[in-house]
Structure 1
Amino acid sequence: MKSEFSLLLLLSIIVFGAITVTNAGGGAPGGGGLRPNFYRFTRCPQAEMLVKALTISKVRSDPTLAPKLLRVHYHDCFVKGCDASILLDTVGTNQSEKDARPNQTLGGFEAIDNIKAQVEKACPGIVSCADILALAARDAVSFPFGRNLWEVPTGRRDSRVSLISDVNGNLPSPFSDFPTLQQLFAKKNLNVNDLVALSGAHTIGVAHCGAFSRRLFNFTGKGDMDPSLDATYAGTLKQQCPNPANPATTVGMDPQSSRSFDTHYFTILNQKKGLFQSDAALLTNADSAAIVNRLQFPRNFFFEFGRSMVNMGNIEVLTGTAGEIRKNCRVINPLA
């Protein structure tokens, strides 16, 4: 694995080393919003290829990394924008976003740390943690397809602030009904199409029992089961997650297809096998239910998911001279 990684790194540097550098300054160019191939015109033109090579190497050895990185990217963007604030550790009594309950089951931070360290060795102080996270999430999911499933406009900068208090009310909850989800997405300038398409990320990865056990054992507080959940599927889930739920136990979010990024999620939704209450909620609105049906076709899903990922990746980004380019994704840079 070490030799494979070294080869990927060397190839990345060789391939991109000949690109003409038009900005020889010390940091990323100033100016407006995100744009494709942002780093091509910096002192790190190989940035995106380097992140891709490192990410692919890691996903090859750990296929569970793809949904982890995708989820971290989601949780970053929905709280104060895609600014890598989710990556900051708590310092002293100032608790960061990581400590919020919905974020305590996130994973993949070490992979981002390692990618950032390698990128810093190649070109220090140029590539933001926010861009690395956005690129790595895309590259990890796209790897099995041999092509990018969506383009990632880059040029994000990193926040110097991460507060646990900012998480509440900003992250979509697995317990949410449709109006709540629609309102939250609208606050982020995302529409119903984005809501349904991005929910398709539940086609890969696992969930902890506590995120859905209420649907199985105490849906209305009377020891009942959620009637919108298929009874046979509920029986299987009860065997995997007996009451009370073990916090460490996980199940695949998409039965029989939790390691494959595909359209199976939308098929099981119509079979009343969506794992979360928020999944089932997509069928309670006529517009979103119609989108669920449309996204069962791979061509539709991959196109809409990619477009919605770009939309999500634009939420409240820091660009130009805002924020900073962190040297270590877990801590802010010391003030000069």
Structure 2
Amino acid sequence: MSFAFAVAAVFLLFFGLGVRRDRRRFGNAVLLGLAVTFLGIGLIAGIDDAPPGVAESVMVVALLVLGIGPVVLAGLLTWNGVKMVRKEGRSPGNLLSLLAGLGMFGVMALAVSAAAIQSWTLRIVVVTTLFVLGYVSFLFVCFVGYAYLYGRMRIRRDADYVVVLGSGLIGGRRVPPLLASRLDRGREVYERLAAYERRDGDAPVLVTSGGQGPDEELPESHAMADYLVARGFPPEAVVREDRSRTTEENMLFSKELMERDRPGSSCVIVTNNFHAFRAALSARRAGVNGQVVGSPTAAYFWPSATIREFVAVFLQYKVVNLGICLTLILLGALAWASR
């Protein structure tokens, strides 16, 4: 028990150092997840020393969570996926929560079949699948947990720019609700920064960042700026970055613009809450001195969007992550061949 607590303390120390160095690192999420995991192991190991009745209650709750939790989660994901398709259409990104829920039901059915058939091969397949899913699920929980913490950072007061990231337009020219949420949040951040007393005396600038897609009549940044100005935002405080097509290009081209006008400047980047942590990782890779904040998103949209964000981050570290998954699969194959 004390060993687990000691390991948790070490990981927590490294987590604190990592956050102090740069909060925009996925490694921070993993270190926090490992610290919490070993803390949980230590608590479980010491359950025998708990007052009478506590150990039994904890075991009952744990069994309920392990037994019923996956079924409930799979059902909720499937239900959310159906709702997502009805509201947003059948694009691959909108199907993610539905596929995740159906996939969980599939794994559970496979496990039941392996127990009923008594097949060695099927058992190895199930165990290997659970190990791979366990690894991916651990990273997913780390991602969601740290993204939640990152999204609750205080907004810096000394930023020179507010950069609002674009998204697709409706009908090729109108701002959709998702993007309107970002713009409203960006205006709120701008007004908060403008209210602070600045040492250089210069007012902050809001950058709308987004190029023109093949199905759009004008660059997203222009539609975004028009949306703000039509609602009373001062036009002289808006700068349009109209070349970017991806989040990475949002960062790079906005950085060029900021460095051109105010070298060494800092910024607050605004996107939707589900996208904030991945955008922070992109900002770090692009060398942007910026904090990312999120705007509200409809609850039904969050599961599929979060899964999509996690997949993108998972593949950013594909050498390590796919290497570990392939190693687990190889170990399963060796266990099957050794019989």
Alignment TM class, shorter chain as reference: under 0.3
* Higher RCO (C-alpha under 8 Å, 6+ residues apart): 1
Larger radius of gyration: 2
Greater fraction strand = 2
TM-score (norm 1): 0.28
TM-score normalized with structure 2 length: 0.28
